[in-house]
Structure 1
Amino acid sequence: MRTTKLRPGAWLLAAALLAVAGCGSTRTQFYSLAETTAPVPRAPTAAAAPLYIELAPIAMPERFVRPQLVVRQQGSAAGPQVEILEQHRWSSSFESELRDALGSAVAARLGAVDLTRTGRQRGQPAVRIGVQMGQFDAIEGSRVDAAFSWTLRRTDEGPSVGCRIVLTEPVGGGIEALAQGSQRVASRLADAIAASVPALQGQPVASCAA
């Protein structure tokens, strides 16, 4: 068998080219659920007291408690299957990513202060929000189907309010489009949660029941 002897410099060049090729083939893409444009906050009245919100950790199925995107495949002979995409990830675990996005977005819509990260001072009333994710089916090249329920309770008084919403967001082809569709779902959920806060004062809100 014939062999070819490479000069020392050629070995280094070959190793560098292999390293670059290897990095290119395993490059990980990161995505975020945070909104790229700031929503218009609710205009506070002159006498309105500051509103504080607390968002509890989001309850969700165990398969989503990871940074990788979880995609549901269709068209398989075995039926719909779930695939965990190692090279496509959220910037943190999906639960943390969704909680951060919702906390910021709901606070912005209400003109409120998000105490999720800073903590609440003793005796400072706040609206406590608990969210449960019942469904989040991200289907590549098709849509994102999601279902959420949440409860609202003031920390100082009154009963809780329960709400539920089912969302469908169409998406184009590719994983980036799927991530953008997921971002829009999170934004619509923030709209619904913010709109449900008046139910704490006994005002009627669609899809909510005291």
Structure 2
Amino acid sequence: AVYRVSVNVQRFESWPGSHALIDAVWSVRALDSQTVMTCRSVIDEPVGQGYDALVEGHRDAVDNLAHSIARGLRELSDGRTKGAPLRCPVEAHSPG
């Protein structure tokens, strides 16, 4: 199957020495279906001092967002084959 993924970033915050945050609304849809899964992910990664730590925090946040979307895509795929209700994935946060 072919899927379309859409991501709308609501917030992208950088707080050096504190956190890197991404707040995004995303959706996945199989092109051969009208079924759409729309979810929101708020990913807040703690970061240390300095810009290198901030960049790493944003990298981790984007990685977690990508994993959430992948889990959503699998959920949509499984739901289509099993007829189960769709549930947005729970965010995975890396330890501080």
TM-score of Structure 1 vs Structure 2, range by shorter chain: 0.7 to 0.9
Residue identity opposite 2:13 in structure 1:
D
Structure 1 residue 167: Cα displacement: 0.9
Q: Distance in 2 between matches of 1:196 and 1:177?
A: 29
Q: Which has the higher contact order (CA 8 A, sep 6+)?
A: 2
Contact 1:153–1:161 (Cα < 8 Å) also in 2: yes
- From 135, 150, 160, the counterpart of 2:26: 150
What displacement does 1:146 show?
Answer: 1.6
Aligned to 1:141: 17
Across the aligned residues of Structure 1 and Structure 2, the Cα RMSD in angstroms comes to 1.8
Q: 1:206 is matched with which residue: 75, 88, 91?
A: 88
Structure 2 portions without partners, runs of 5+ = 91-96
Distance 1:180 1:171 in 2: 8
For residue 172 of structure 1, give the secondary structure of its aligned residue in structure 2: coil
Stretches of structure 1 that go unaligned for 5 or more consecutive residues are 1-124
Deviation at 1:187, TM superposition (A): 0.7
- Map of 2:49 onto structure 1: 173
Secondary structure of 1:206's match? coil
Amino acid at match of 1:144: A
Aligned to 1:132: 8
Greater shift, 159-168 or 176-185, is seen at 159-168
Amino acid corresponding to residue 172 of structure 1 in structure 2: G
Q: Which residue of 1 aligns with 2:94?
A: none
State whether residues 195 and 205 of structure 1, in contact with CA within 8 Å, keep that contact through their aligned partners in structure 2: no
Q: CA deviation at 1:156?
A: 1.5
Greater radius of gyration (CA): 1
How far the C-alpha of 1:177 sits from its partner, in A, is 0.6
User: Identity rate of aligned residues, in percent?
Assistant: 30
The amino acid that maps onto 1:171 is V
Counterpart in 2 of 1:194?
70
Superposed CA deviations along residues 117-139 of structure 1, whole A, max 9, x for unmatched, are: xxxxxxxx411100010011011
Amino acid at match of 1:161: M
Q: Deviations over 1:59-83 (max 9, x none)?
A: xxxxxxxxxxxxxxxxxxxxxxxxx
Tell me, yes or no, if the aligned pair for 2:68 and 2:89 is still in contact at 8 Å. Answer: no
TM-score by length of 2: 0.77
Q: In 2, Cα distance between the equivalents of 1:163 and 1:207? A: 8
Pick aligned residue for 1:163 from 14, 19, 39? 39
- Number of aligned positions between the proteins: 84
**In structure 1, the residue corresponding to 2:69 is in which secondary structure?**
helix
SS at structure 1 position matched to 2:45? strand
